[in-house]
């Protein structure tokens, strides 16, 4: 199974905001830091705000920040909100499905994966904040994201 780019961007946005919890961040800043599509990030941030992960502030000096502490946002919760489904295979049309155990095994696999994701928060992903901030600053042509 592979997570979508949408989920990847959602996690990157949340990590970025957690790294810069002392200030508001802009979508343009995140876009430059991760070389990600600004338009795609706008959609991601809108969904994250709608789902209560991100708080947005309008206006000239506006931006976004985490809506709650990074320690309270699990990777599993983000994945559940950003992925459409978790079906690894479509067994519905298979002639063997009434007697086959594959769908049950796949369902157990997905449940195990989500259980692992539920065991980690966004804060857990920030192993070395100083190095992470430095790497973001190097990527950004304007040095945005430095502390």
Assign domain 5-85+122-139 to its CATH architecture: Orthogonal Bundle (1.10)
Q: Convert the pLDDT of each residue in 116-129 to its tens digit.
A: 999 999 999 998 99
Q: Are 42 and 90 in contact (CB under 8 A)?
A: no
CA atoms within 13 A on the CB side of 36: 25
Residue 13 is encoded by which pair of tokens?
A: 């946005």
Helix H or strand E encompassing 66: strand 63-66
Among 130, 124, 123, which residue's Cα sits nearest to residue 147? Answer: 130
How far, in Å, CA of 7 to CA of 4, rounded?
Answer: 5
Question: Is the model more confident about 73 or about 60?
Answer: 73
- Model pTM score: 0.87
Q: Convert the pLDDT of each residue in 88-140 to its tens digit.
A: 888 888 898 889 999 889 989 999 999 999 999 999 999 899 899 898 887 65
């Amino acid at each position: 199974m592979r997570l979508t780019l949408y989920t990847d961007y959602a996690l990157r946005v949340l990590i970025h905001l957690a790294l810069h919890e002392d200030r508001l961040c802009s979508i343009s800043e995140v876009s430059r830091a991760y070389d990600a599509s600004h338009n795609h990030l706008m959609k991601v941030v809108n969904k994250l705000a709608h789902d209560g992960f991100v708080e947005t502030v309008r206006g000239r000096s506006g931006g976004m920040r985490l809506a709650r502490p990074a320690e309270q946002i699990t990777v599993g919760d983000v994945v559940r909100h950003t992925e459409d489904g978790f079906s690894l295979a479509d067994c519905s049309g298979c002639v063997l499905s009434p007697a086959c155990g594959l769908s049950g095994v796949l369902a157990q696999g997905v449940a195990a994966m989500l259980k692992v994701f539920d065991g980690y928060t966004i804060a857990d992903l920030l192993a070395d904040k100083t190095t992470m901030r430095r790497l973001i600053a190097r990527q950004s042509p304007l040095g945005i994201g430095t502390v």
